Amino acid sequence: MRSAHRRDSRPHSIETAGFTLMELMVVVSIIAILSTIAYGSYQRHVVKSRRAAAAACLQERVQRLERFHTAHMSYLDSSGKPPELAQCADGLAQHYQLSLSAVAARTFKLRAEPLGGQAEADARCGALMIDQRGVRSVSGAAAATPEECW
């Protein structure tokens, strides 16, 4: 008579199938480190992209003012007011305040002032400015040059 218990023909050895808790923790740690680095890089890229959009908007406004000046020989209209400038990209208004100042018949200054989180993240460059001569400047707290920020 055969035994009710059937013996497995394989030898009993302790084989691990899967991962140990230590291996999983190492993988999770590596993923956490990589995602922290990637997120920081992403944030810097977003700040730089917004600054580039503000600089492009300022350049576009300079071109419009120059076209107006070419047609009217002044940056002011007949009533002594600067021309209305079209708005730039929709998302830009959340991150930059654009303004036109020091407007006279032959001079103007355009400024893009960062707002909120953009101002905090981009304190090095700060506000971007350009005048009628095309001279670019920045107002950042650090010693950033216009070439680095524009």
Condensed to tens digits (0 to 9), the pLDDT of residues 58-81 reads 999 999 999 999 999 999 998 989
Q: For residues 28 and 36, is the Cβ–Cβ distance under 8 A?
A: no
- Report how far residue 139's alpha carbon sits from residue 114's, in angstroms, rounded to the nearest whole number: 11
pLDDT for residue 85: 83
pLDDT digits (tens, 9 = 90+) for 2-40: 555 555 566 666 665 788 999 999 999 999 999 999 998
Query: Which position has the token pair 């095309």?
Result: 134
Q: In the predicted model, what is the mean pLDDT of the chain?
A: 88
Q: Are strands 128-131 and 109-114 parallel, antiparallel or unpaired?
A: antiparallel
- Report how far residue 60's alpha carbon sits from residue 145's, in angstroms, rounded to the nearest whole number: 21
